[in-house]
Amino acid sequence: MRTVIVIPARNEAALIDRCLRSIAVARRAHCSVVVVADSCDDDTAAIARGFSGVEVLEVAFANVGAARRAGIEYAIAGATWIACTDADSVVPENWITDQRAHERRGADVVVGTVRPDPRDLDEQQLLAWTAKHDPINANGHVHGANLGIRASSYTAVGGFRTLAEHEDVELVARLAASGAAIVAANTSEVLTSGRSLGRTPGGYARYLSADLIGVDAIA
């Protein structure tokens, strides 16, 4: 019943401490934590190594899909569940227990919700996000910052691909096509950075800085 928690990080020295503090609270027995420090030229790896029970894998892909894949390959042996988040995010205390509860009820994939740190948003962004966000119903949008996958299902479809962005969406699409049972959940929402300049050109930062206030934006 071992869980692997994988966190890709690229120059996240400013935020990874709070991420790993939240992981320390959320993790349970038989959890392995791997930080994949990808092409970092700051103190990300050193900060992560300061946390007990956290393994650090240093790579030079400059590619989030490759980083997630490497972290999972590094630690998946003997694991039954994979939990993914990002180094600029804070997970809730019930994050792992909630994902595993969905697994016990038959879920192969848990697609969780995220919310941006309001301290990072201007007034227009905050009002727009609040207006579009449904606090009751899970929206089913895929975020690598809050994603859980049964290890056998992950392996069956070949895992994350080497994509510079949207590697999470692409993986879940393949899992859905394979017949995996996918659950959209908002019972363990993850707080993520609301920064306007992200690590990928088309990720959540773009959504918050440009797409959010557009006509066709979705939360």
Own/partner long-range contacts of 114-117 (Cβ < 8 Å, ≥24 apart): 114/89, 114/143, 114/145, 114/146, 114/189, 114/190, 114/191, 114/192, 114/204, 115/189, 115/190, 115/191, 115/192, 116/191, 116/192, 116/193, 116/194, 116/204, 116/208, 117/191, 117/192, 117/193, 117/194
Q: Is residue 11 part of a domain?
A: yes
pLDDT confidence of 216, banded at 50, 70, 90? very low
Residue 218 lies in a domain: no
* CATH number of domain containing 46: 3.90.550.10
Does some domain include residue 45?
Answer: yes
pLDDT tens profile 57-88: 999 999 999 999 999 999 999 999 999 999 99
| Residue 51, domain extent | 2-213
Q: Is residue 151 part of a domain?
A: yes
- Rounded Cα distance, 206 and 185, in Å: 23
* 34 in a structural domain: yes
pTM: 0.88
How many folded domains does the chain comprise? Answer: 1
- Does the residue 219 lie in any domain? no
The 10s digit of each residue's pLDDT in 80-136 is 999 999 999 999 999 999 999 999 999 999 999 999 998 888 888 888 878 888 888
The token pair that represents 17 in the structure block: 């401490």
pLDDT of residue 134: 85
Q: Averaged over 127-149, what is the pLDDT?
A: 89
* Domain assignment present for 68: yes
Q: What is the pLDDT of residue 126?
A: 82
